[in-house]
């Protein structure tokens, strides 16, 4: 992988910054999709993983197993997740206690390293960009950056974008014509966590990860 290059952060996202987290933005390939992501790195979780020599955890089944466990108590481990949490290297992810009668209890130790603030799909035209953005519904606020000139009357384009909750940026002028709709996720899911881990995996290739 080529060294990661950070890009300027949209100042409109600055209010999302919080204590104990740093904001970054970079472009990369995610499951074959070219995206630009703006995100916060949780410094406490990053230091914890660095101390344990633990990088990104991108196996979705493992993340699903971890989500089934509390972070501040012990709970029974669902039988369907026992195998996912019993492999080599899982001791840093969760604490497991096996009782003599055969049941297993667990507590999650792994935290989420990255909070994704915005996903930007870049494409030559609106149709392609919109299709790309649709693949990431439910992951974060989504914006389409269109390289080709926006029509003189962009009303139809912006109406469609608003219908889907998409933001629009005119690439050549770097002008934000429409902000994405407010993002209100109902629950944290293994797929969203996996995407955060994919972003974190790329972040770890940067000099900032060692700073």
Residue 1 scores a pLDDT above 70:
no
Q: Is 180 exposed, middle or buried (0-12, 13-18, 19+ CB in 10 A)?
A: buried
Supply φ then ψ for residue 73, to 5 degrees: -165, 175
**Tokens in use for 23?**
């904001």
Annotated domain spans of the chain: 11-44+115-195, 58-109
For the whole model, what pTM was predicted?
0.92
pLDDT given at position 109:
96
Q: How far is the C-alpha of 139 from the C-alpha of 174, rounded, in Å?
A: 24
Question: Mean pLDDT over all residues of the chain?
Answer: 92
CA nearest 104: which of 122, 72, 127, 80?
Answer: 80
């Amino acid at each position: 992988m080529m060294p990661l290059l950070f890009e300027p952060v949209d100042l409109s996202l600055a209010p999302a910054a919080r204590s104990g987290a740093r904001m970054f933005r970079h472009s990369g390939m995610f499951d074959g999709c070219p995206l630009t992501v703006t995100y916060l790195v949780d410094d406490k979780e990053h230091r914890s993983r660095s101390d344990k020599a633990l990088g990104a955890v991108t196996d979705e089944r493992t993340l699903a197993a971890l989500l089934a466990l509390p972070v501040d108590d012990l709970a029974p481990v669902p039988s369907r997740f026992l195998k996912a949490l019993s492999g080599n290297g899982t001791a840093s992810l969760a604490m497991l206690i096996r009782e003599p009668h055969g049941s297993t209890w667990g507590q999650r130790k792994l935290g989420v390293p990255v909070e994704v603030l915005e996903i930007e799909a870049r494409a030559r035209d609106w149709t392609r960009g919109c299709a790309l953005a649709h693949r990431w519904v439910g992951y974060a606020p989504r914006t389409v950056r269109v390289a080709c000139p926006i029509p003189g009357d962009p009303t139809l384009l912006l109406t469609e974008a608003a219908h889907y909750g998409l933001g629009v940026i005119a690439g050549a002028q770097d002008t934000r014509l429409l902000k994405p709709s407010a993002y209100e996720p109902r629950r944290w899911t293994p797929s969203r966590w996996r995407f955060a881990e994919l972003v974190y995996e790329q972040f770890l290739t940067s000099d900032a990860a060692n700073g």
